[in-house]
Amino acid sequence: MKEIHIDKIRETVYDALLQINCELSNDVSEALLEGMKKEESEVGKSIFEDIVKNNNLAKEKQIPICQDTGMVVAFVNLGQDVHVVGGNISWAINQALKDAYKDGYFRKSVVSDPIERKNSMDNVPAVIHYDIVDGDEIEILLTAKGFGSENMSRLKMLKPSEGEKGVVDFVTETVSLAGPNACPPLFIGIGIGGTMEKAALLSKQALLRNANELNTDPYYADLEKKLLDRLNKLGIGPMGLGGRTTVLGVNIMTYPTHIAGLPVAVNICCHVNRHIKVKV
Ligand code: SF4
């Protein structure tokens, strides 16, 4: 049994959160450059230029890419041959979050209660999901999720007979309703199958997959391409001011489901798609 001290987890998550708030990952930067090349609208092109300039400045000066520094979500894949020592792993992740948001001067965007709405003043807590996997490592996938786009995400329990068409129509309707509110150009995570909560989780996990990575199943890889094409025909464009680039990436994740159901969740992310995978 390998021992991993919580200090190691805390330090790794702290560094990762400072990084993702100031520097986009390569897949997201490349998708933005690719989108800029394809955009035909003059306004759209100039918005892309501003976005790229903003991202370069944030990286150079190590300041946040956006004023909305999001709510942190962590997917922890805990190797079953790991013994975490020195304290509690959730505490370590939240402490790292608290320290990173304080030291990075990132906006504190979390309220302690959803109705009373008092700011927690430290961006804690993170939303943490655990999975037990083989091995003696801890893998942590992190995002700092902006809520302009989170608010436009949707879930629907389709009838099984609605099939692929039902999924495509629901995704298209969701992106269309999001319009400019989700800060396009967008990344779309889609979860299909499982139960209601599983579909929602899959859609978030799909967003954390690299934007340039197609589904390993050829059928779903094809569906990702078809959806990308269809969504970019909506004409919403960068920042909703028209253009051919509304969506930069579509990622689908699936899970077996019940004979009577077809859950579909669409998690929308803005162009500030902050995600990272770290190993401890
Ligand atoms: S949705 Fe994204 S781009 Fe829009 S304000 Fe939030 S983090 Fe910034």
Mean pLDDT of the region 235-241 = 95
% of the chain with per-residue pLDDT over 70: 100
193 lines ligand 1 (CB under 6 A): no
Mean pLDDT of the region 226-252 = 96
Predicted confidence at residue 217, as pLDDT, reads: 98
149 lines ligand 1 (CB under 6 A): yes
Give CA torsion, residues 131, 29, 270, 194, to 10 deg.
-30
HEC secondary structure over 9-50: HHHHHHHHHHHHHHCCCHHHHHHHHHHHHHCCCHHHHHHHHH
121 Ramachandran zone, left/alpha/beta (phi>0; psi -120 to 50): left
Return the best residue to mutate from 270, 273, 275 for the ligand 1 pocket (most ligand atoms within 8 A of CB): 270
Overall fold of domain 2-22+65-145: Dihydrodipicolinate Reductase; domain 2 (3.30.360)
Predicted confidence at residue 77, as pLDDT, reads: 98
148 lines ligand 1 (CB under 6 A): yes
Ligand 1 mean position, distance from CA 220 (Å): 28
Give the model's confidence band at 92: pLDDT under 50 very low, under 70 low, under 90 confident, else very high.
Answer: very high
272 lines ligand 1 (CB under 6 A): yes
68 lines ligand 1 (CB under 6 A): yes
Ligand 1, atom nearest to 69 Cα: 7
Predicted confidence at residue 204, as pLDDT, reads: 98
58 lines ligand 1 (CB under 6 A): no
* Measured distance CA(94)–CA(98) in Å, rounded: 6
**Please, are residues 210 and 152 in contact by the beta-carbon 8 Å criterion?**
no
Mean pLDDT of the region 198-224 = 97
Mean pLDDT of the region 268-272 = 97
- End-to-end Cα, the chain, rounded Å: 15
Predicted confidence at residue 234, as pLDDT, reads: 97
Ligand 1, atom nearest to 67 Cα: 8
27 lines ligand 1 (CB under 6 A): no
Q: Are strands 186-194 and 71-79 parallel, antiparallel or unpaired?
A: unpaired
Where do the domains of the chain lie?
Answer: 2-22+65-145, 148-273
